[in-house]
Structure 1
Amino acid sequence: MTKPRARDLGLPFPGTPGPLNAITDVAGVAVGFCTLTDPAKKMRTGVTAILPRPATVPQPVWAGQYALNGNGEMTGTHWINDAGYFLGPILITNTHGVGAAHLGATRWMIGHYADYFAKEHAWAMPVVAETYDGVLNDINALHVQPEHAIAALEARSTGPVAEGATGGGNGMIAYEFKGGTGTASRRIELGGQGYTVAALVQANHGIRPWLTILGKPVGALMPEDALYTGEMGSIIVVVATDAPLSGLALRQLAKRAAIGIGRGGTPGGNNSGDIFLAFSTANEGPMPQFAPAVSARQELNIELLDNLYLAAVQSIEEAVVNAMVAGEDTPTVKPEGRICRGLDRRRLAEIFA
């Protein structure tokens, strides 16, 4: 049975979503999951894969990165900040799975871009990000292995994106409700041209009293079965667009993720890794080392981008709620014997009725 999403419950999110209301509304972007669940092994984890371009020839995507609070990891960002682009996939997993996922992504890149790696002095620097799933998963058992990253990449699709306990989101908690993977998109017009802006989040952040949804104090209205005394999670946000943007504009776009998650109530706790990446699929072309000495790229005038920033904020806000709306009651492993509750969809709908 298909679970309802936040809009299906009557939540009046602003803006115009794309046909899937997902990051895959940006043409060419694919998402795949490897979800690992075995209660006998206290296993509830996985890997989420995002491939910005079809895996045919090695082409960079232009990108910008920003960290609101750095208690977390996103590999490859030093180069993104210096060069303004990256090659290959984005993977999201748990904190102790970063190395395994990075190795899996590297193997996958070497295989899919075989000529490039065989003939050139090429190197793989995939983006791998994480949030901590040690409340619902035995994170120290190192369940995530390189083959799981490869499986997530091979399972990629440009269609609807499964939310909640999928891929790396399997063991995640948001505002002390079951969290995980969420996504949303917006369609906008700039300079007479239509564009898509979309987000995918791995939501594992916040405490119950902070939770606000579209101005309603949902956390205060649903205080039961809280788990924490303070912030102990993180959130990864990936923003995709087909709008042609400069590296500066993409960094500015990534910064807006702080406002998007802030609309849900989080101030960005000290123990939270709030780390964001924005990329554009526009300006397709070869790796820079193979480009002409003088290259032409299209870029939207940065003075026109306010509505694009707003679309990103709206997408992120909705994606976080979608992640929680998809949640189901889940037993904890540390400590054992408690339940991380799924957000009560009936009560949420009644709040907005």
Structure 2
Amino acid sequence: MTAPPVRSKPRARGLGLDVPGICGPANAITDVPGVLVGYETLVRDAAPGGKPVRTGVTAILPRGFDPHPSPVWAGQFTLNGNGEMTGSHWIRDGGHFLGPVLVTNTHSVGIAHHAATRWILSHYGAAFEAHHLWAMPVVAETYDGVLNDINGQHVGEADVLSAIRAARPGPVAEGNVGGGAGMICYEFKGGTGTASRVIEIDGERFTLGVLVQANHGLRPWLSVLGVPVGRHLDRDRMKDMPTERGSIIAVIATDLPLAPSQLERLARRAGLGIGRGGTPGGNNSGDIFLAFSTANRMDLPQLSGAWRDMRTLNDERLDPVYMAVVDGVEEAVLNAMLAAEDAPTAKPAGHVCRALRADELLEVMARYGRAG
């Protein structure tokens, strides 16, 4: 286990790139009041005859450690379904979920679900003991088997619980942390990235935040703010990747009052955000997106009365919110790549997945007049 590193590399805005939109103070999903993020990162170099371990768990707590079981309204969308997000069926039908959102690797979904259930039963113990309630955790995944001994199933229940307990507000570590530790993006080292946007509607200020686990794309596809960067940075490619074999999870949080149908439409726009980066949503990619709102606080429906009142935004005012999602997802992916560090491969062994170099990126951007 390793602690999330202190951010030492500049993010997209820190490089002077003209990223659109106004961000919150941390430019992170935690800019949404009450939303916390925690990690458990597992890093072990390969022993003789073994494979390196580069994996972990990312935990997003929509209502932090509030002991009252209050679900959040939510919407879910799948651009390409070669992946998993548990709980999504009920989110699409019921429009809400309770508890943390966890993101890990493909072969750790089961243990993450088990641990999340245990945490929900413990954290909301009185309500679950007194009533016939059931936990349906949200756990999503992307495949890290190129850089991690994924079949070793190294993530344990204690690791998942540690990620949840580590959840904090404020700046969020990016790159090789949590579930993003072993991920690859456009054949560069990928991983965890985040961004936020501040939106003003009718004199009120709201925040929208995004967190991605970026593990998608082939190098020739890569575009940064409209510049075909991948065509120019074609060295150190992952030689055994003729087709895309990754995925991307995007989680969108906001304090803007929205109905589940509107949140589903927000989740759809994450597809436009990753599309700006160049991916078409490859056949082997699980491009799965979740959006939730902390507004319109409610009790569990099983413990509520017959009627419910909601405040929701007029659909005619949604365009700036859609743009915030698209811009935020695009920036979060770029932040993930810029924060990442080189990592050795597990299969095939003996290679290195290189991180995107800021100086090389800026050199290409300058050719197109986009370097700040």
* TM-score category, normalised to shorter length: over 0.9
288, 301, 309: which one pairs with 1:288?
301
The Cα shift of 1:180 comes to 0.2
The Cα shift of 1:12 comes to 0.7
Q: What TM-score comes out, normalization by structure 1 length?
A: 0.98
d(CA) in 2 for partners of 1:30 and 1:230?
Answer: 35
Equivalent residues in 2 for 1:182-331 (5 A)?
A: 182-227=193-238, 228-331=241-344
Code of the residue aligned with 1:92 in structure 2: it is V
d(CA) in 1 for partners of 2:157 and 2:134?
Answer: 18
Cα deviations by residue, 1:287-310 (Å, 9 ceiling, x for unpaired): 112222112111111111000000
48, 57, 80: which one pairs with 2:91?
80
Unaligned runs of 5+ in 1: none
Contact 1:102 1:146 in 2 (8 A): no
d(CA) in 2 for partners of 1:191 and 1:291?
Answer: 31
d(CA) in 2 for partners of 1:156 and 1:251?
Answer: 26
Number of the residue aligned with 2:172: 161
User: Which stretch has the larger CA shift, 188-197 or 128-137?
Assistant: 188-197
Number of the residue aligned with 1:4: 10
Number of the residue aligned with 2:131: 120
Code of the residue aligned with 1:295 in structure 2: it is R
d(CA) in 2 for partners of 1:254 and 1:281?
Answer: 15
d(CA) in 2 for partners of 1:112 and 1:291?
Answer: 20
The percentage of aligned residue pairs carrying the same residue is 61
The Cα shift of 1:330 comes to 1.0
Code of the residue aligned with 1:180 in structure 2: it is G
Cα deviations by residue, 1:246-285 (Å, 9 ceiling, x for unpaired): 1110000000000010000000000000000000000112
d(CA) in 1 for partners of 2:117 and 2:39?
Answer: 17
The Cα shift of 1:212 comes to 0.1
Number of the residue aligned with 1:48: 58
The Cα shift of 1:54 comes to 2.5
Contact 2:244 2:285 in 1 (8 A): yes
Q: Secondary structure at the match of 2:112?
A: helix
Structure 1 position 19 matched with structure 2 position 25: yes
d(CA) in 1 for partners of 2:176 and 2:43?
Answer: 10
Number of the residue aligned with 2:3: none
d(CA) in 2 for partners of 1:172 and 1:186?
Answer: 25
User: Which stretch has the larger CA shift, 151-160 or 39-48?
Assistant: 39-48
The Cα shift of 1:191 comes to 2.4
d(CA) in 1 for partners of 2:202 and 2:227?
Answer: 35
Q: Secondary structure at the match of 1:171?
A: coil
d(CA) in 2 for partners of 1:108 and 1:289?
Answer: 20
Aligned-residue CA RMSD in angstroms? 0.9
Cα deviations by residue, 1:14-61 (Å, 9 ceiling, x for unpaired): 000001000000000000000000013521100000000022210000
Structure 1 position 30 matched with structure 2 position 28: no
Number of the residue aligned with 2:351: 338
Contact 1:10 1:349 in 2 (8 A): no
d(CA) in 2 for partners of 1:242 and 1:302?
Answer: 16
d(CA) in 1 for partners of 2:73 and 2:31?
Answer: 18
Contact 2:52 2:344 in 1 (8 A): no
Contact 2:81 2:287 in 1 (8 A): yes
105, 116, 121: which one pairs with 1:105?
116
The Cα shift of 1:193 comes to 1.4
Code of the residue aligned with 2:343 in structure 1: it is T
Cα deviations by residue, 1:143-177 (Å, 9 ceiling, x for unpaired): 01111110000000011100000000000000000
Code of the residue aligned with 1:62 in structure 2: it is W
Code of the residue aligned with 1:42 in structure 2: it is P
Contact 1:62 1:85 in 2 (8 A): yes
d(CA) in 1 for partners of 2:93 and 2:266?
Answer: 17
Number of the residue aligned with 2:191: 180
The Cα shift of 1:67 comes to 0.1
Q: Secondary structure at the match of 1:45?
A: strand
**Structure 1 ranges of 4+ moved more than 3 A:** none
d(CA) in 1 for partners of 2:70 and 2:118?
Answer: 17
d(CA) in 1 for partners of 2:52 and 2:118?
Answer: 28
Unaligned runs of 5+ in 2: 1-5
Q: What TM-score comes out, normalization by structure 2 length?
A: 0.94
The Cα shift of 1:70 comes to 0.1
Q: Secondary structure at the match of 2:181?
A: helix
Cα deviations by residue, 1:207-241 (Å, 9 ceiling, x for unpaired): 00000000111111100011121111000000001
Q: Secondary structure at the match of 2:86?
A: coil
Code of the residue aligned with 1:205 in structure 2: it is H
Q: Secondary structure at the match of 1:256?
A: helix
